[in-house]
Amino acid sequence: MKVGRTVSAAVFITLSYLKNPLAFLSDLIIPLVIFMVVQLGTGKGVESLLGILVAVSWSSGSFALAKKLALYRMWRLLDMFVVSPLKPVEFAIATALAHLLILVIPAGIVTAIIMAMSRANPTLLLLTVVSIVVIAWLMGTLFGLYIYGKLADPLRISGAANLLNLLLILLPPVMYPASILPTAIQLASAAIPTVSLKLVALHLMGVGTDVPLLVPAFTVVAHIAVFLALALRQRVTE
């Protein structure tokens, strides 16, 4: 795999996305409404914003990536790239990197609000946010490559996305505080990758939770390992 041409393809794809920057901002409308409700109701707006960062980063790498790759294949755009020296696996990686680059827009907005509201050390806060965004994107990307290889049809991927986004982002305590739930449910929800990522971020920022750090940290590592194994089994290079 040639790094140079993969990065060049990622930049090309990113520039095509940036022709419609409002599309990325519109994805923040509902999450920011949830943030305002949480802040007014519980005063834990920063925790909600961390969950929004996790949700946006995960979504950018998971179903958004899977649907885009499937659409590229359906539109025969993938074939256009493959005719060039760019290999299919390089094209998949370039598309994933493009999703990371455009993630800077919504993540930057949410990060600015977090830094304005939080009293934590700005350097530590920024390092925490960047780390969580990258890890969430990586985990979501591995999952997205698995979904793409497994389903490959944009319509089937959209149907799966609606259900799994409900189960992984909206229902569990990702964008709302886990503290409103019983301790047993908090511990059980830590098995969900998006929840575990938010819990790790809270611990790194020095925010106490009822779930020990080792539980979500182990969950994150385990999910990355599982998603990597699943992604490698799929024929994403075809």
Amino acid at site 218: F
Task: Return averaged pLDDT per consecutive 10 residues of the chain, 238 residues in all.
Answer: 70 71 72 90 90 90 71 58 63 81 87 88 87 92 82 70 81 89 88 93 84 92 92 65
Identify the pLDDT of residue 237. 46
List all residues 6 or more positions away from 235 whose beta carbon is below 8 Å from its beta carbon: 149
Give the span between the Cα atoms of 199 and 211, in whole angstroms: 8
Alpha-carbon radius of gyration of the chain:
18
Identify the pLDDT of residue 77. 56
Cα dist from 184 to 75, 176, 178, 189, 196, whole Å? 47, 17, 11, 9, 15
Segments in the chain forming alpha helices (H): 3-17, 22-26, 29-42, 45-61, 63-74, 77-83, 88-102, 104-117, 122-151, 154-165, 183-189, 193-204, 214-233
Per-residue pLDDT of 99-151, as tens digits, reads 888 888 889 999 999 999 888 788 888 898 999 999 999 998 888 888 877 77
Closest residue by Cα to residue 65 from 103, 20, 104, 106: 103
- Check if the beta carbon of residue 179 is closer than 8 Å to that of residue 198: no
Identify the pLDDT of residue 85. 66
List all residues 6 or more positions away from 5 whose beta carbon is below 8 Å from its beta carbon: 85, 86, 90
Closest residue by Cα to residue 96 from 71, 70, 73, 69: 69
Identify the pLDDT of residue 21. 63
- pTM of the prediction? 0.84
Identify the pLDDT of residue 22. 67
Identify the pLDDT of residue 179. 85
